[in-house]
């Protein structure tokens, strides 16, 4: 499993992408990647191993993948049987995911976790969030976490996979999550089912459910 901290060296070379701009740097980054200027640290075709080992049975109902990048996790959920939506703030990333998975049943969309369409709020039986919150600087962390929570339907499940921080470290990207930051997904009617620390690399895999 690639260590998300290795992104620090990749993103240091990003030219016109400025990670201190919480939401503005991803599209320039994806555009640079599609132009071949940088190697995208999130280039993968297989689902994240911590998602693959968690989803070992066929699924039913609706699922959404937050910050979906090139769509490997969304395709995995669709293969399991979920009616899957996947969104990313970067139009270039969404176009690349659609092109990579032509004919896919996944509904790929451009969307901002900080400004979600009303129709998505409380709409998904399974919400999967892998590495989006940690990829954005802490100035908007509370808003991103609240956005992820808001997607979960009554009775639904949220799975969050993020790198572990022992203490707050503002020297990102990425900006791994402390225990209190991962536990913050369990608010607004959600409660923790499990908060596991996996390694190596050290990752949180945390499951929450809305009552």
CB of 61 to ligand SAM, least distance (A): 21
CB of 147 to ligand SAM, least distance (A): 7
Residues 50-69, mask of contacts with ligand SAM (x by CB under 6 A):
-----------------xxx
Q: Is 137 in the site for ligand SAM (CB under 6 A)?
A: no
**Do residues 174 and 134 touch, judged by C-beta distance below 8 A?**
yes
**Do residues 109 and 87 touch, judged by C-beta distance below 8 A?**
yes
Identity of the residue, 121 or 155, whose beta carbon is nearer to ligand SAM in the bound complex = 121
| Token pair recorded at residue 187 | 């608010």
Terminal Cα-to-Cα distance of the chain (whole angstroms): 33
Residue nearest to ligand SAM (CB): 67
Q: Is 142 in the site for ligand SAM (CB under 6 A)?
A: no
| Choices 10-18, 83-91, 185-193, 199-207; region in contact with ligand SAM by CB under 6 A | 83-91
Report CA 174 to chain centroid distance, whole Å: 13
Q: Is 162 in the site for ligand SAM (CB under 6 A)?
A: no
Q: Is 42 in the site for ligand SAM (CB under 6 A)?
A: yes
Q: Is 93 in the site for ligand SAM (CB under 6 A)?
A: yes
Identity of the residue, 80 or 116, whose beta carbon is nearer to ligand SAM in the bound complex = 116
Alpha-carbon distance of 161 to 198, in angstroms, equals: 10
CB of 194 to ligand SAM, least distance (A): 20
What angle (nearest 5°) sits at the alpha carbon of residue 126, between those of residues 19 and 66? 15
**Rounded to whole angstroms, what are the CA distances from 140 to 93, 201, 205?**
21, 25, 21
Q: Is 130 in the site for ligand SAM (CB under 6 A)?
A: yes
| Choices 10-18, 99-107, 131-139, 186-194; region in contact with ligand SAM by CB under 6 A | 131-139
**Do residues 155 and 210 touch, judged by C-beta distance below 8 A?**
yes
Category of 122 on φ-ψ map: left (φ > 0), alpha (ψ -120 to 50) or beta: left
Q: Is 90 in the site for ligand SAM (CB under 6 A)?
A: yes
Q: Is 26 in the site for ligand SAM (CB under 6 A)?
A: yes
**Do residues 75 and 27 touch, judged by C-beta distance below 8 A?**
no
- Tell which residue, 86, 87, 207, has the closest CA to residue 157: 207
Positions in the binding site for ligand SAM (CB under 6 A): 23, 26, 42, 48, 67-69, 88-90, 93, 111-114, 130-132, 135-136
């Amino acid at each position: 499993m690639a260590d998300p901290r290795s992104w620090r060296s990749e993103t240091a070379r990003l030219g016109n992408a400025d990670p201190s701009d919480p939401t503005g740097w991803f599209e320039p980054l994806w555009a640079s990647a599609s132009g071949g200027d940088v190697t995208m640290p999130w280039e993968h075709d297989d689902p994240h191993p911590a998602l693959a080992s968690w989803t070992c049975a066929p699924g039913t109902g609706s699922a959404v993948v937050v910050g979906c990048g090139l769509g490997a996790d969304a395709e995995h959920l669709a293969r399991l049987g979920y009616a899957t939506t996947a969104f990313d703030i970067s139009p270039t990333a969404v176009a690349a995911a659609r092109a990579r998975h032509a004919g896919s049943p996944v509904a790929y969309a451009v969307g901002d976790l900080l400004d979600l369409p009303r129709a998505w709020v409380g709409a998904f039986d399974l919400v999967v969030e892998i590495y989006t919150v940690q990829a954005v600087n802490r100035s908007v962390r509370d808003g991103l976490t609240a956005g992820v929570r808001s997607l979960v339907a009554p009775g639904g499940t949220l799975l969050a996979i993020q790198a572990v921080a022992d203490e707050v470290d503002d020297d990102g990207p990425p900006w791994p999550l402390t225990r209190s930051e991962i536990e913050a997904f369990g608010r607004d009617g959600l409660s923790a089912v499990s908060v596991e620390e996996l390694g190596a690399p050290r990752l949180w895999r945390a499951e929450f459910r809305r009552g």
